[in-house]
Structure 1
Amino acid sequence: MAALPRRDFLALGAAATATALLPRHAFADSPTGTKLHGLSAFGDLKYPPDFPHFDYVNADAPKGGTFNFPPPNWAYNQSPFTFNTLNSFTLRGDAPPRMELCFDALMARALDEPDALYGLLAESVTISDDRNSFDFALRPEARWHDGTPLTAEDIAFTLMLYKEKGHPQLALTLAELTAAEAVDTHTVRLTFSGKQSAQTILTVTGMPIVSRTYYTQNEFDTGRMAPPLGSGPYKVGRVATGQFIEYERVADYWGRDLPVNRGQYNFDRIRIDFYRDRNAAFEAFKKGDTYFREEFTARTWVSEYNFPAIADGRVVKHEFAGEKWPAMQAMALNQRREQFRDVRVRRAIAMCFDFEWTKRTLFSGSYDRSQSNFEKSDFKAAGPPSAQELALLEPFRDELPPETFGEPAMQPVSDASGRDRRMLGQAAKLLGEAGWKRSGRLLANDKGQTLKAEMLANDDSLARIFLPWAENMKSIGIDASVRVVDSAQYQARQNDFDFDMMLMAMLIGATPAFSALEGLYHSRAADRPGTRNYPGTKSPAVDALVEAAGRAQSRDELVTALRALDRVLRARLDWIPTYYLANHRVAYWDMFGFKEPKPDYGFPVETLWWFEHEKAAKIGKG
């Protein structure tokens, strides 16, 4: 399950919610006309200009060793199952996770703050008086891996390239970028239309920068297995297409001593092996071919971590605290299919998921029930809407389900039998009210079309969870099925919205970027292949609330907007919340060092941990 790569309130009436995004107060606590060493959405920075390194790293961590792991999250066009291109920043093809380690960005995120970034390629940034333009002063020592300077032309070229041809996760963010100009060799100016979200610049400054020279000599939006020229702490090493990739640490990396990098990127080699089958990947870990594994299957975590290396202590099984991010895991019902456009149908399908039985029988008591797209965060709605939330919701009362305006909608609690007759009876009644009547053993509408629902999966363990849900749907007359496809087909059908129902897990960010919310929920993303608006949501109310979140000038305003959005999403059920896990379940071969506690806003083990030769020798891995 993917996890790419996310606060009383000024009352806004109907006119205000309909206005364009007005970022003139963005970064309200950040002065204009002054060189700044960092940015955050609401002006709060933990680290001063002269900070030596982030607090959560070991600044003296040794370099060396190999880290072989299956990445638990990925972004852009990346796939954890196979790859056929090394261009990660276009929609075409499947790229290996962590290609972004080969590229630098203007700024780097601090993992112990919700949304702060500090200079990487950029030594400083100056905000214009109208707060629509940003001048970045670049570090003159920045270099590509071939030794040539990385300049303002590269950055201007990259961002305009992404806007025109980049993966939708990049292009959508850059929609309001009107110009990216090289003022001189070491100064780049980014200018926005005035309609951008206050958080847009935070996302843009974290985008990987590519070489202008390389991509004027080579096409950008084609699948290529030739490693592109990079500038980051790693470069592509050995590769076997679809089988494995190794990233090699760049010993003379230009930015290795910067405060944002010190104590990180410690492994000489990061290797990813690709397995199409979960069991094969688990066997590779048990044998010691893979060194680290985050476990997402409850049954496996409870009953299968009993192999010899666990018993003799060579492998450590441990739970690490989860991030302080909104957690979203939900089933998307594709409303591009006519049968899912009625909320009563979506609610009936939700009632067929017996979480209580699933938790007891399939999850070994693990997992909690999701009720929200913003679990584990302040953005999750509770109680009746506040006056500030109502100010945002009232203009859309005629559009929204009545449940929006009371206690937030909750998923039903079953009797844990696996086939709760009361719940299934209610579901059948809803389908009847929506116009679906029995025609033999199946339901049909007045056109004679049967009610079909195919659940798409890319793994047998996921299918195992879907099958009881499908059986319950069948019992009330839905022509339900589960289809397991290979990773390439799954990715293609996901990108093209070619599915009925599909599960997605995602962490959105402690201060969700407008681009992330737009890509998930906004009408603009509904018909754009490669976005994550999998249900095809097109709702003026949802659009307005996403834009209100983008307009937020304080964390209180952001919380209010997202709580209102949560109420709408829970009432509409474009996404059916399923379940979530509070912690990271991790097992690793005991030859690594790491600093605890882990940071609150990230868990990039491959960049924070380090190799310990003495420990490795003791377990025969030296």
Structure 2
Amino acid sequence: MSCSPNLTRRGFGRLAAGLAATATLPTRGFALTATGRPLHGLSAFGDLKYPPDFPHFDYASPEAPSGGQFNFSVPNWGFNQSPLTFDTLNTFVLRGSAPPRMESLYDTLMASALDEPDAIYGALAQTVTLSDDRNAYVFALRPEATFSTGAPVTPVDVVFTYETFKEKGHPSLQIVLQQLERIEVEAPDRVRLVFSGHQTDQDALAAFAVPIIPKAFFDDQPFESVSTKAIPGSGRFQIKAYDFGRYIEYEKRPDYWAKDMGFARGLDHFDVIRIDFFRDRTTAFEAFKKGNIHFREESVSKTWATEYVFPAVTEGKVIKREFPKEKTPVFQCWALNQRRKRFADPRIRQAINMCFDFKWTNANMFYGLYQHADSCFESSDFKAEGPPSPAELEILEPLRDKLPDAVFGDVWRQPVSDGSGQDRKMLREALRLFSEAGWRQKNGRLVDANGQGFALEYLIDDPGFERVYGKFIQTLRLIGVDASIRLVDGAQYQDRQNRFDFDMIGAAFSLGATPSRNSLTDLFGSATRDRQGANNLVGMADPGVDALIEVVNKASDRRSLTMAMRALDRVLRARLDWIPNIYSQSHRAAFWDRFGFKPDKPDYGWPVESLWWFDAAKAKAIGKA
């Protein structure tokens, strides 16, 4: 299952933000937040945890030493980034593949704390002031804020950034900024963002986390053509060295303007962060075994169960450990591309899902390490259970004529096989569903009324998926589907995903603790069905789902958000546009014992490269100083 952009967990810029200011705390949500006076932070729901003068986030470690190098295999990425290769240093456009963690070069106006589900604090902006109609936000920029070039961050830069991203940026950025009506310089140190009036608090929160880039850099070159030069940023890191397709090193800026401020203090301890690029997992794992890679999250169950037996593990030099997942939905699903008519019938999607014997696969391929996912929102309060509650029915009933009847009964759950790998009962049901949808078996093939065979190509970018899901493909062939697996390189995979040129593809996303219209539309909304580069891989365009996304977006408190998300979950599971696949309740990580870190991780994000630090004594003890 390929990892895909992180939609909200880390926002678009800094790993964490928050800063001292002179304003008092907002009360509950934007609806009750004071207008007309400067505020140091905003929260969609609830009070802010940190006061204006907080010295650092609770999960930060200001006492930790600074220094050392962190070489790691990245577990998540965003925008146009790829963990397999890179051919551009512009991560803000659709074209090309950029290296992960390019966002570490850039600060944002505001960004989230990792121990709060929906709060943001000032970073480049010292304060934010809401207009009386709550459609305009005036940001006072910090006079200390500078780009790596030494130039100050000005309102002109902010205006250029938002206007450029809204017109020419990566689809993820364009979606986030669709409710932003205009942006203008208010004063030499102030900038005003004006929304359409149709935005909600979540829309605004996401828009305030856009990375800021310098206008002057583009005075003699178009934004979309920049590829071999890094766009300067105002963030903690800058690029030290790189070789396209092989490696990139980020070094901590000694002149970073915010290093002693509350939102940055006690984070980002390593002097150098290095990412090496490998086209296959075996080579990457060998690099880890040799100590060339210091940390990796293991996503291959066979490797986790059987291959961590090399000398460094048995000698205690490499630690193998599970860490709890965040308190956010786990989304890991298959996408059947409904832009291709044969996948548009929900009975077809149900039939294909029937051919995946999770019980057999978990026992024989996953070593019992996974659970079968029922929902796009596993491990969260957003997952629906049983029949709809009265609160959910209040949301669903007005939309009854737009929703499947199954939504109003017990929520859909995955079928349970006998674990044989070829459960005859499930295969008969799959054939019945194909037949209802107009496909019949002829000479061992499923064909339509014109004799055209039913084809399904599963697009992958890692040969490990061939081993894991080979049985699934064989079962599809058994009932007459012309099923195959197509392995392509990282660049071709990214390109075909961006252009929706596939039958079936796997995806994993992080939705964040407070899903917004932006993130939900990106995955499920009609507006993104034909937007290349969007994450609506299945090609959804359903008015009932669109209406529910609006209900989610207008939630005024966390309880109403949860009820709306559960209602949406029921509809998604009844339609089965995205086919839930597998999930785990933990991060499976292995690392050389040369690091220090706090025993408890934050609940809403786990950027190891920002939270951990180099422990010289540990490194010396294992011979990896």
Q: Give the alignment's TM-score, normalised by structure 1.
A: 0.96
Query: C-alpha offsets along residues 290-322 of structure 1, whole Å, 9 cap, x if unaligned?
Result: 000100011100100000111111111111111
Indicate conservation of the 8 Å contact 2:359/2:419, yes or no: yes
Matched, 1:64 2:67: yes
SS of corresponding position for 2:219: helix
How far apart are residue 3 of structure 1 and its match? 4.6
Aligned to 1:17: none
Q: CA RMSD in A?
A: 1.2
Indicate conservation of the 8 Å contact 2:29/2:43, yes or no: no
Aligned to 1:384: 387
Aligned to 2:135: 132
How far apart are residue 26 of structure 1 and its match? 6.6
Give 1:50-449 correspondences, 5 Å limit.
Answer: 50-449=53-452
How far apart are residue 216 of structure 1 and its match? 2.7
Give 1:4-43 correspondences, 5 Å limit.
Answer: 4-5=5-6, 6=8, 27-43=30-46
In 1, the alpha carbon distance for the partners of 2:521 and 2:586 equals 27
Indicate conservation of the 8 Å contact 1:2/1:72, yes or no: yes
SS of corresponding position for 1:498: coil
Query: C-alpha offsets along residues 362-412 of structure 1, whole Å, 9 cap, x if unaligned?
Result: 000101110001111111011211233223323433343221111110110
In 2, the alpha carbon distance for the partners of 1:203 and 1:559 equals 19
2:505 corresponds, among 502, 506, 510, to: 502
Aligned to 2:563: 560
Query: C-alpha offsets along residues 388-447 of structure 1, whole Å, 9 cap, x if unaligned?
Result: 322332343334322111111011000000010000001101111111012221111113
SS of corresponding position for 1:221: helix
In 2, the alpha carbon distance for the partners of 1:38 and 1:4 equals 26
In 2, the alpha carbon distance for the partners of 1:509 and 1:95 equals 23
Indicate conservation of the 8 Å contact 1:120/1:258, yes or no: no
SS of corresponding position for 1:284: helix
In 1, the alpha carbon distance for the partners of 2:370 and 2:573 equals 20
Query: C-alpha offsets along residues 564-607 of structure 1, whole Å, 9 cap, x if unaligned?
Result: 11001000010110110111101111111111200001110001
Aligned to 1:575: 578
In 1, the alpha carbon distance for the partners of 2:284 and 2:338 equals 35
Matched, 1:450 2:453: yes
What amino acid does structure 1 have at the position aligned with 2:258?
G
What amino acid does structure 2 have at the position aligned with 1:82?
T
Give 1:419-568 correspondences, 5 Å limit.
Answer: 419-568=422-571
Query: C-alpha offsets along residues 202-239 of structure 1, whole Å, 9 cap, x if unaligned?
Result: 11111111111112332211251112211110001111
What amino acid does structure 1 have at the position aligned with 2:619?
A
Indicate conservation of the 8 Å contact 1:28/1:43, yes or no: no
In 1, the alpha carbon distance for the partners of 2:421 and 2:164 equals 51
Query: C-alpha offsets along residues 144-168 of structure 1, whole Å, 9 cap, x if unaligned?
Result: 1121111111111101110000001
In 2, the alpha carbon distance for the partners of 1:217 and 1:511 equals 40
Matched, 1:610 2:605: no
Indicate conservation of the 8 Å contact 1:454/1:482, yes or no: yes
SS of corresponding position for 2:225: coil
Unaligned runs of 5+ in 2: 9-27
Q: Give the alignment's TM-score, normalised by structure 2.
A: 0.95
SS of corresponding position for 1:68: strand
Aligned residues: 604
In 2, the alpha carbon distance for the partners of 1:535 and 1:431 equals 19
Query: C-alpha offsets along residues 22-56 of structure 1, whole Å, 9 cap, x if unaligned?
Result: xxx97113211121111111242111111110001
What amino acid does structure 1 have at the position aligned with 2:216?
T
Query: C-alpha offsets along residues 256-277 of structure 1, whole Å, 9 cap, x if unaligned?
Result: 0110100111100000000001
SS of corresponding position for 1:28: helix
In 1, the alpha carbon distance for the partners of 2:569 and 2:505 equals 20
Indicate conservation of the 8 Å contact 1:266/1:609, yes or no: yes
Indicate conservation of the 8 Å contact 1:112/1:601, yes or no: yes
Aligned to 2:25: none
In 2, the alpha carbon distance for the partners of 1:266 and 1:243 equals 24
Indicate conservation of the 8 Å contact 2:29/2:47, yes or no: no
Indicate conservation of the 8 Å contact 2:29/2:42, yes or no: no
Aligned to 2:12: none
In 2, the alpha carbon distance for the partners of 1:469 and 1:528 equals 30
SS of corresponding position for 1:428: helix
In 1, the alpha carbon distance for the partners of 2:359 and 2:621 equals 44
SS of corresponding position for 1:73: coil
In 1, the alpha carbon distance for the partners of 2:425 and 2:470 equals 20
Indicate conservation of the 8 Å contact 1:92/1:223, yes or no: no
What amino acid does structure 1 have at the position aligned with 2:457?
E
In 2, the alpha carbon distance for the partners of 1:339 and 1:223 equals 40
Unaligned runs of 5+ in 1: 7-24
Structure 1 residues 449 and 395: CA distance shift in structure 2, 3 A: farther
Aligned to 1:2: 3
What amino acid does structure 1 have at the position aligned with 2:5?
L
Moved more, 66-75 or 108-117: 108-117
In 2, the alpha carbon distance for the partners of 1:388 and 1:600 equals 27
1:601 corresponds, among 596, 600, 604, to: 604
Query: C-alpha offsets along residues 506-531 of structure 1, whole Å, 9 cap, x if unaligned?
Result: 11000112211110000000000000
In 1, the alpha carbon distance for the partners of 2:327 and 2:135 equals 30
In 2, the alpha carbon distance for the partners of 1:428 and 1:380 equals 29
